[in-house]
Amino acid sequence: MVLSQSMGSLDPMAIFDKGIGRLMTVKDVARFLSCSERTIRLWISRRTLPVVRPAPRMVRFDPREILQWLAERKG
């Protein structure tokens, strides 16, 4: 199940508040940041974005860390 569909919102804190501990997918983060999934994967490979790896080939994102990451980059 895609988190954005199940939660009905792309606001990371709304996602976190509605589903305690829910993590975002690559697709969720791409939609939230208005960029492609390919860009998100590039940033992951460059270790630009903070990720959570619940399993070796699984990548998820903590909504709070994404908001913090975004705030650090605002000028």
When pLDDT is cut at 50, 70 and 90, the band that residue 4 belongs to is very low
When pLDDT is cut at 50, 70 and 90, the band that residue 22 belongs to is confident
Beta strand segments in the chain, E:
52-55, 58-60
Distance CA 59, CA 48 (A): 14
pLDDT at 69 over 80: yes
How do the domains of the chain map onto residue ranges?
3-73
CATH number of the domain at 3-73, please? 1.10.10.10
Distance CA 6, CA 35 (A): 21
Spatial CB neighbours of 35, under 8 Å, sequence gap ≥ 6: none
Residue 1 is predicted with a pLDDT of 35
Eight-state DSSP code of residue 54: E
Query: pTM for the whole thing?
Result: 0.72
Residue 55 is predicted with a pLDDT of 92
pLDDT at 16 over 90: no
